[in-house]
């Protein structure tokens, strides 16, 4: 009956050596993927609900679209991409969960569809104080030709994520006058294209 | 100049600007520099163009792994690329990795990279390189603040299949005097010491070896070589095959595309073919097969002092194998 069972079950099935080594027939490989995706979808809604209750003490109506970006590694995350497009008046909230039993520092990458610079803050000790963190936005080369991949990738520093715990970050749009003081724009230098392009 | 140098607080990495490959990695904290020759290449897959049904219902074609160099069939046709004979042949395929008889790693021509782009931001630094004819191998070398590894994001494919199949490899050549030894860990818990030619049957050191390459491949989640002065290794993001076929070298198989079934049970080539037929011969109707996928993966390359290979690898395994889980939401600005 657990909402995590379907994922558990799928991972059990994929322990077959064909699943682990990728030596199955093609349609079997698709079946493994389908089972895992089904399990992940179930687990996603359960875990996001739990996180929302645990971290945000929220009642209904706050951060309803909290979701686990399954295709983050393919630079696709509809929630952050939509919220980052020009003209959007939304902030992006990111919950970074650390499953290790030790504190960790990581650079988290977030697919966004805007190269203008956003401002990242981490929710500090008190609910109300947000502390700026280092961030930068780099263009997504999308060498894997993924359809729907984000145009840019925001990287931000997630320090001191607690063991078996999570940190909350907020990404908001920078107003122009703040730009120069907070983050350094990436300087693309293509050694092969003309200087004009570099400008 | 003709070099690109990028660094973070722990590492400094030098690239050859014309080829886009890494030429040295320095661990600033340990005061260790390993000069490397980075390359991508492929082994050609061994195959015999026997039609599928012939293979399957003729048991003695299953072969027993013993191979004779070269092969000529009853009609006197030469199959120089094959390792084996009518009685003992074996295709490279899902279960079997078998390069052609030359056992040669074919470098990707041409040597100059198609393009090299550098991104230098206050947080993440990246060097993008596009290799080979057709640019089917691309690489983003990335340095992250506070991390003691160079993150190599490789993007491979679709792998061209004009030569009957490829086993694509990322290879690093250093001057480390590894003395025929390397260490692999495939369960994230315990390194095994590997000695080249261990199987007493395979290995370039064995004069009568027929499988010097595949016979020295082992399952890898992390792999390293070391001597008294340097250690050099890699933590992968998914299980791969890896080896150290000559002293000072490390190689990992990052993609395979084979056109033949190896008759070991799958009944299909490793070609994302969902129509399940095998071409005969492959060259003229390869286009009827699956288009081939583009895969993306990550290698984390680490440099350290001699004897520190295991602890260096072990030190980042947990965070590499258990990435942070990222949950995202949006709300009107200023709400929360």
In tens, the pLDDT along B12-61 reads 999 999 999 999 999 999 999 999 999 999 998 887 654 333 333 333 33
pLDDT at B205 over 60: no
Residues of chain A contacting residue B140, judged by C-beta atoms under 8 Å apart: 141, 143
Q: For A12, which DSSP code? A: H
Q: Does B144 touch chain A (CB under 8 A)?
A: yes
Question: In chain A, which residues have pLDDT < 70?
Answer: 56-61, 117, 125-128, 175-199
With residue A28 as reference, give the H or E element that holds it: helix A26-56
Distance CA A175, CA A172 (A): 9
Per-residue confidence band for B88, with pLDDT thresholds at 50, 70 and 90: low
Lowest mean pLDDT among A79-83, B97-101, B221-225: B97-101
Residues of chain B contacting residue A100, judged by C-beta atoms under 8 Å apart: 318-319, 322
pLDDT value at residue B54? 34
Tell me how close the Cα of A1 comes to any Cα of chain B, in angstroms.
24
Asked if B256 and B323 count as a contact pair (C-beta separation under 8 A), the reply is no
Tell me how close the Cα of A34 comes to any Cα of chain B, in angstroms.
16
If one compares B230 and B211, the residue with the highest pLDDT of the two is B230
Residues of chain B contacting residue A90, judged by C-beta atoms under 8 Å apart: 330-333
Distance CA B231, CA B176 (A): 8
Among candidates B263, B312, B241, B280, which has minimal Cα distance to B25?
B312
pLDDT value at residue B36? 97
Q: What is the dihedral of CA B77, B82, B87, B90, to 10 degrees?
A: -140
pLDDT value at residue B91? 82
Least CA distance to A156: which residue of chain B?
B123
Angle between helices A26-56 and A5-13 (to 10 degrees): 150
Q: For B41, which DSSP code? A: E
pLDDT value at residue A12? 97
Tell me how close the Cα of B242 comes to any Cα of chain A, in angstroms.
14
Considering CB atoms only, which of A68, A102, A138 is closest to B325?
Answer: A68
- Strand bridging mode B3-7 / B11-16: antiparallel
- Strand bridging mode B249-258 / B22-27: unpaired
pLDDT value at residue B327? 94
Q: What percent of chain B has pLDDT over 90?
A: 49
> Hey, are the CB atoms on B119 and A188 less than 8 Å from each other?
yes
> Hey, are the CB atoms on B330 and A79 less than 8 Å from each other?
yes
Distance CA A20, CA A103 (A): 30
Interface size A-B, in CB pairs within 8 Å, comes to 185
Least CA distance to A48: which residue of chain B?
B327
With residue B131 as reference, give the H or E element that holds it: strand B125-131
Considering CB atoms only, which of B116, B267, B322 is closest to A99?
Answer: B322
Distance CA A56, CA A70 (A): 22
> Hey, are the CB atoms on A108 and B324 less than 8 Å from each other?
yes
> Hey, are the CB atoms on A134 and B319 less than 8 Å from each other?
no
Q: Does B187 touch chain A (CB under 8 A)?
A: no
Chain B segment 223-252 residues within 8 A of A by beta carbon are 239
Distance CA B264, CA B96 (A): 8
Q: Which long-range contacts (CB under 8 A, 24 or more apart) does B204-210 make?
A: B204/B245, B204/B246, B205/B180, B210/B67, B210/B68, B210/B69, B210/B83
Distance CA B247, CA B244 (A): 7
Asked if B328 and A112 count as a contact pair (C-beta separation under 8 A), the reply is no
> Hey, are the CB atoms on B326 and A134 less than 8 Å from each other?
no
- Whose tokens are 């609900």? That residue is A49
Least CA distance to B267: which residue of chain A?
A25
pLDDT value at residue B284? 38
Q: Does A147 touch chain B (CB under 8 A)?
A: no
pLDDT at B199 over 50: yes
For chain B, first and last CA: distance in Å? 50
Neighbours of A36 (CB within 10 A): 18
Chain B segment 292-321 residues within 8 A of A by beta carbon are 294-296, 318-319
ipTM of this complex prediction, to 2 decimal places: 0.86
Chain A segment 56-95 residues within 8 A of B by beta carbon are 56, 62-69, 72-74, 77, 79-80, 82-83, 89-95
> Hey, are the CB atoms on A188 and B324 less than 8 Å from each other?
no
Residue-wise pLDDT tens digits, B69-78:
345 556 766 5
Per-residue confidence band for B109, with pLDDT thresholds at 50, 70 and 90: low
For A3-17, give one letter per residue: b (16+ CB within 10 A) or e: eeebbeebeeebeee
pLDDT at B235 over 50: yes
| Best to test chain B binding among A165, A186, A189, A198 (most B CBs inside 10 Å) | A186
- Whose tokens are 């120069």? That residue is A180
Tell me how close the Cα of A51 comes to any Cα of chain B, in angstroms.
9
**Average pLDDT of the residues in B259-271:** 80
Cα within 13 Å of Cα(B163), Cβ side: 15
Residues of chain A contacting residue B327, judged by C-beta atoms under 8 Å apart: 47-48, 51, 66-69, 94-97
| Extended beta strands in A113-161, E state | 118-123, 130-132, 135-139, 152-161
> Hey, are the CB atoms on B146 and A73 less than 8 Å from each other?
no
Of A188-192, B51-55, B260-264, B278-282, where does the model show the most confidence? B260-264
Neighbours of B231 (CB within 10 A): 28
Considering CB atoms only, which of B145, B267, B336 is closest to A25?
Answer: B267
């Amino acid at each position: 009956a657990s909402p995590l069972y379907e994922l558990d079950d799928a991972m059990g099935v994929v322990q077959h050596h064909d699943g682990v080594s990728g030596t199955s027939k093609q349609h079997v490989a698709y079946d493994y993927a389908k089972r895992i995706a089904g399990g992940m979808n179930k687990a996603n809604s359960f875990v996001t609900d739990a996180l929302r209750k645990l971290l945000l003490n929220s009642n209904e109506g706050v951060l309803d679209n909290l979701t686990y970006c399954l295709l983050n590694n393919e630079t696709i995350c509809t929630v952050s991409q939509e919220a980052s497009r020009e003209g959007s008046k939304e902030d992006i909230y990111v919950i970074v969960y650390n499953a290790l039993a030790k504190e960790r520092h990581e650079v988290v990458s977030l697919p966004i569809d805007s190269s203008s610079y956003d401002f990242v803050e981490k929710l500090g000790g008190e609910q109300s104080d947000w502390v700026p963190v280092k961030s930068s936005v780099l263009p997504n080369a999308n060498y894997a030709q993924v359809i729907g991949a984000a145009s840019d990738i925001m990287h931000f520093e997630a320090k001191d994520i607690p063991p078996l715990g999570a940190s909350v970050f907020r990404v908001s749009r920078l107003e122009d006058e703040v730009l120069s003081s907070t983050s350094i724009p990436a300087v693309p230098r293509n050694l092969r294209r003309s200087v004009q392009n570099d400008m | 100049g003709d070099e690109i140098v990028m660094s973070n607080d722990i590492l400094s990495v030098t690239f050859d600007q014309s080829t886009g490959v890494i030429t040295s990695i320095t661990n600033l904290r340990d005061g260790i520099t390993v000069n490397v020759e980075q390359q991508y290449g492929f082994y050609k897959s061994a195959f015999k163009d026997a039609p599928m049904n012939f293979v399957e219902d003729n048991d003695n074609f299953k072969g027993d792994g013993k191979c004779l160099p070269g092969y000529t069939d009853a009609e006197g046709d030469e199959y120089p690329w094959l390792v084996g004979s009518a009685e003992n042949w074996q295709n490279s395929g899902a279960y079997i990795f078998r390069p052609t008889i030359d056992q040669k790693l074919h470098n990707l021509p041409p040597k100059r990279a198609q393009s090299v782009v550098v991104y230098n931001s206050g947080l993440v630094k990246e060097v993008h390189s596009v290799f080979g004819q057709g640019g089917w191998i691309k690489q983003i070398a990335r340095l992250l603040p506070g991390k003691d590894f160079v993150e190599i994001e490789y993007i491979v494919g679709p792998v061209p299949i004009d030569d009957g199949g490829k086993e694509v490899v990322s290879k690093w050549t250093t001057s480390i005097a590894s003395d025929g030894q390397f260490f692999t860990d495939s369960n994230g818990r315990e390194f095994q010491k590997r000695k080249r030619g261990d199987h007493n049957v395979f290995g370039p050191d064995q004069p009568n070896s027929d499988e010097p390459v595949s016979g020295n491949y082992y399952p890898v989640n992390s792999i390293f070589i070391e001597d008294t002065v340097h250690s050099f290794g890699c933590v992968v993001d998914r299980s791969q095959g890896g080896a150290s076929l000559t002293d000072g070298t490390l190689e990992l198989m990052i993609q395979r595309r084979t056109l033949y079934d190896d008759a070991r049970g799958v009944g299909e080539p490793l070609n994302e073919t969902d129509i399940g037929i095998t071409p005969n011969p492959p060259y003229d109707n390869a286009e009827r097969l699956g288009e081939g996928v583009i895969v993306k993966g990550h290698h984390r390359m680490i440099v350290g002092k001699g004897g520190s290979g295991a602890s260096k690898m072990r030190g980042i395994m947990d965070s590499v194998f258990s990435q942070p889980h990222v949950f995202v939401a949006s709300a009107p600005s200023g709400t929360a």
